Chains A and B, each alone.
Chain A
Amino acid sequence: MSTSQGHGVDAHTGEEDPGEPDERHGYRTYEVYQRERVGETTNLISPRQLVGDDYLSDPYALVDVLRENYPCYRDWVGNRFWITRYDDVTSVLADTANYESRPRAHAYLAARNGRSLWGELVIEAALKRCIDDALDQVIGRVLDGVADVPDLATSFAARLPLELWSEAVALEPHERSDFARRLWRMHRGAGWDPIDRVAGAAAFDELADFFDARLRRSPDGDDLVSAAARLGATGHDLVVTLLEADHETLHGGLANLWFQLVGHPGQLQAISTEPRLMKFAWLEALRHSPAVIHAERFARHEVERFGRLLPEGALLWCSTAAANRDPRVFNEPDTFRVDRTDLCQREPRGQYRADGLPSGIAIGLGLPSIQPARPKERPRSRYALTEDIAVRASRSLLERWPAIALAEGASPSLRSLRLGDMHTCWSLPVTLA
């Protein structure tokens, strides 16, 4: 072929052919491409179903199809790979050499500065101290609210984390509503919706201004803001810290736990008889009905996994909803059972299969692989802290109203309000006695 190599006249244009560019880093060999053969048949599902209303209300039916047929599904519409089997998801989450997460705060930080303070020991210690000191009081206050408005989704599950945050950052009672609205807007605004983004950015700035004023006060307190002030943090730092903290797992996890318990009166009765089972119920709820049903990971570089070539920058959409109901790992995975024997019943340390048993994947609680067993002087992990809060609050609720039951005529359901939002119960009316 006279035109296949080297310099010459370009047959297309008659222009001088500049010749072949130098081989250099960045070009891939054709043989690499050839390893990714023509795509497999994926006719059992359409990518549009994964962004439709059915997915928002019941993702399990759809992700079952993926897990059983296309364990690494190339979603052309969402430009992502769905990873759905338990072993595959945990292997991606634990493999920080090949995959990275990107902070939520990226959504806001293009025009702002700020860093998360979660790596600072004093911050984690302050949070633990605030929660330990205030938990009983907050639970009491929240249960009083449940007595007034007996809806466990709003009066209990949604309120408890907001009250705890209010204590952690030492808010006055009259400041809590504004704080809650701003925190919520900011979290929602970190998603894909531009209207929410605008509201979220405004909330971000308002919170930053609010905390800047607080940080200028004497940093003598035991709360999170005082600890941040002693570190020389800014309002932006504190806001980024709040943004990166898990909010959904406690809120959504509590709602989903009680959604399951009032829907399974026999199991609720078993817990009444044997309160220690509440912890197992919490762990089983995280497995069976996780509020955070996916995690994003990006390939740091080209990786060959799952029989595919994942290009650098590829988005791996790790589906907790699918993995936690993988029948390869859990028996009767669609059944909610507080006495499940094939689920690890303690915080997994350093691995997903502590004690040889799988744990439910709870994205918001941090990764076992990066939260190894801590020395005694370090504060409990956020995983343990969240579990303590959820279990203590739920036991208190059940102790106060042992006959709690779903309100007559109520038909609650789990639902994500938007794609990417937590999958939880937004209304759970109950009768208390």
Chain B
Amino acid sequence: MGDAGNPFDAVLDDSLDVDRPGAKRRFDFQPVGTAVDMGCAPDGTPLIDPRIFASGEFRRNPYPYYRIMRDHYPVFHDRLHNCYYVTRYEDITAGYFDEIGFNTIPKGSSSGVLGNTQLELSGIEHRRRRNIYGRHLVGAALTKRLDAIRELGQDLIDEWYTPANPKGVEIDEVAGTVTLELGAAFANEFPISVVAQVLGIPQDARTQFTWWYDAMMQGLGGSDTHHDGLVARQDLEDYVGSLVEERRHAPTWLHDASGVPICLDIISELCTSEIDGDVMSTEEITSFVALVVGGGGETTRGAILNLWYLLLQHPEQWQAVRDDSSLWNTAFHEMLRHSTSIGGQPRHNTFDVELHGVTIPAGSLVHMVDVSANHDDRVFSDPERFDIFRDDLYSEKILRSGHDGAATDGRWSHMAFGVGPHLCPGAWISHQEAVIGSQILFEHMPNVRIAASRMAKDIDGESLAPIGLGAIRELWLTFDRPTA
């Protein structure tokens, strides 16, 4: 035996204990707003274990962790997932406007299924493509089509009481009530119908559209459903391919309520537009369509469900919206601030960047965490509170430049649509869909309330589950059966 024994014995005690704290961490569910104790640095700074990001606890209760990151690690280097998180409102805003420093090359997990989309373009290339179809989703072209959107919503509601009952509506004749799942009955299809129409895809392809959308969304991220996503993508490409051939020769138009042509539908516009003297390829158009399918479906579906879920849990605010339908706009924006279904946007830094003392090497994946920015108490007071009357949220016309409260009136735009050149092009139409859809629903659901017994519950087994990241999957509602 050596003079002092085996020096490795000291290591054995120290590091090889598989039961030591953190060796095999399971993140138990915590009360909403409370973070799992992941240990502290000697100065008391709480630690963030990057495994938390893949946990169920984080998905249902993300905000206390983002608070730790904002307060202590405004640039958090996640070495396990090889990326950086930027979490403060001010930093994210600056990053979105800095197209040179933070480019869109990251090839987020979407490109594996959706193909190369404008999400990954910058500067001139991005702007040229976006401008081709962007005008269909805003301004006069949108305003003239609001009646058509309303009509699509009404068509869906009309199906509730047809004998075939395709929406699975449950009618209790004795109690005189109707119970339905809002997603299945309305919110899943409504945005897709709107998107299909504005794209110029015939409404009879709506069922297929739903499958394209579902399969492609589930196939993102190289998961085991990736194959299904690619099959759907190929099917969409085949379908769009034949449509493109038709539209190149015979473009079709969108019309207002009186049948007056407004503008070409988006596919026709893409088919007949030239970029740098060249028409767009079918593949490129398909990627556009795939992106719009993805971007225009899930986000608005989630917005409608989250909006109703939150409002119905806050009776005084729900009453205010009932009394003044213009408050749907405000409620929509506050819902997006509080519980947007899009977590953030990836960027790559073009050069080495030093931010808050952290050097981010060029080419790193930087997650701009929009949901964290929306809960940054440097900007929004008591950010975890849902309050359509808050005075620090800008909720008027959506601006690409954002609304800077410090330079104006103390109100800030939320980050759910991003800001800057890549501001969500569907922001305006999504807003209209959610508000118009909600207004129609309100008209047809008297005395509506959440069917609590059918809803997912939180860890106490009684209160309703929090929304967490993304959107709730189901929203069961009960209302009095309309008399006429």
**Which residues of A come within 8 Å of B, CB atoms?**
1, 3-5, 10-15, 20-21, 23-24, 26-30, 33-34, 36-43, 46-48, 51, 74-80, 102, 107, 110, 141-142, 144-145, 148-149, 154-155, 158-159, 162-163, 166, 173-174, 176-181, 184-185, 188, 191-196, 198, 202, 298-299, 311-315, 417-419, 426
Contact = CB atoms under 8 A, between A and B. Distances in A.
A229 B318 CA distance: 74
B116 A33 contact: yes
Interface of B: 1-12, 14-16, 18, 21-23, 38-39, 41-42, 47-50, 54, 78-83, 99-100, 103, 105-107, 109, 111-116, 120-125, 127-128, 131-132, 134-135, 138-139, 221-227, 230, 233, 273, 275, 283-284, 348, 350, 357-359, 361-365, 397-401, 423, 425, 428
B233 A38 contact: yes
A26 B100 contact: yes
A-B pairs with lowest CB-CB distance, top 9: A313-B363, A39-B112, A173-B3, A192-B79, A180-B7, A43-B227, A312-B363, A192-B80, A176-B7
B437 to A, nearest CB: 22
B226 A4 contact: no
A76 B18 CA distance: 28
Contacts of B125: 27, 29-30
B100 A76 contact: no
A181 B400 contact: no
Contacts of B128: 4-5, 20
B296 to A, nearest CB: 16
Contacts of B16: 417, 426
B52 to A, nearest CB: 10
A38 B224 contact: no
Nearest to B79: A192
Contacts of A196: 22
Contacts of A14: 139
**Which secondary structure characterizes the binding site on chain B?**
loop
22 contacts: A1-B132, A12-B425, A21-B123, A23-B124, A27-B103, A33-B120, A36-B116, A38-B111, A38-B112, A39-B230, A144-B2, A145-B5, A154-B12, A158-B11, A162-B7, A184-B11, A184-B15, A192-B79, A195-B21, A195-B38, A195-B39, A315-B82
Given A4-B128, A194-B49, 6 more contacts: A1-B131, A39-B113, A42-B222, A74-B112, A76-B221, A180-B10
Contact of A36 (B3, B48, B107): B107
B245 to A, nearest CB: 20
Nearest to B73: A194
Contacts of A75: 222
B82 A185 contact: no
A185 B127 CA distance: 51
Contacts of A315: 82
Contact of B363 (A40, A180, A299): A299
A113 to B, nearest CB: 15
Nearest to A19: B127
B47 A194 contact: yes
B348 A313 contact: yes
Contact of B11 (A24, A46, A181): A181
A145 B6 CA distance: 7
A418 B15 CA distance: 11
A27 B222 contact: no
A76 B112 contact: yes
A163 B1 CA distance: 13
B222 A159 contact: no
B75 to A, nearest CB: 11
A313 B1 CA distance: 50
B9 A26 contact: no
A43 B230 CA distance: 10
A10 B224 CA distance: 42
A312 B357 contact: no
A180 B1 contact: no
Contact of A314 (B8, B139, B224, B363): B363
Contacts of A12: 134-135, 138-139, 400, 423, 425, 428
Nearest to A312: B363
Nearest to B12: A154
Contacts of A418: 23
A177 B4 CA distance: 8
Contacts of A23: 123-124
A159 B428 CA distance: 67
B17 to A, nearest CB: 10
Contacts of A30: 116, 121, 125
B112 A141 contact: no
A195 B362 CA distance: 27
Contact of A4 (B2, B4, B132, B348): B132
B131 A3 contact: yes
Contacts of B224: 43, 46
B44 to A, nearest CB: 12
Most buried by B among A4, A40, A202: A4
B132 to A, nearest CB: 6
B104 to A, nearest CB: 10
A304 to B, nearest CB: 14
Nearest to B287: A38
Contacts of A78: 80-82
A135 B397 CA distance: 77
Contacts of A4: 128, 131-132, 273, 275
Given A12-B139, A13-B399, A36-B107, A41 B230 contact: yes
A173 B22 contact: no
Given A4-B128, A26-B100, A39 B222 contact: yes
A155 B12 CA distance: 11
B42 A202 contact: yes
B12 to A, nearest CB: 7
B145 to A, nearest CB: 15
B1 A11 contact: no
Given A11-B139, A46-B223, A192-B79, A155 B400 contact: no
A1 B136 CA distance: 13
Contacts of B425: 12
Contacts of B78: 192
Contacts of A39: 111-113, 222, 226, 230
A38 B230 contact: yes
Contacts of B99: 21
B15 A185 contact: yes
Given A10-B400, A192-B79, A173 B4 contact: yes
Contacts of A184: 11, 14-15
Nearest to A140: B2
Contacts of B81: 77-79
Contacts of B127: 20
Contacts of B428: 12
B83 to A, nearest CB: 5
A102 B134 CA distance: 43
Contact of A163 (B7, B103, B123, B124): B7
Nearest to B24: A53
A193 B227 contact: no
A29 B115 CA distance: 16
Nearest to A251: B8
Contact of A158 (B8, B115, B359, B365): B8
Contact of B1 (A1, A148, A193): A148
A29 B123 CA distance: 10
B253 to A, nearest CB: 16
B358 to A, nearest CB: 7
Contact of A42 (B131, B226, B273, B350): B226
A76 B132 CA distance: 31
A298 B132 contact: no
Contacts of B222: 39, 42, 46-47, 74-77
Most buried by A among B1, B113, B226, B350: B226
A13 B358 contact: no
Contacts of A181: 10-11, 14
A58 to B, nearest CB: 17
Nearest to A171: B7
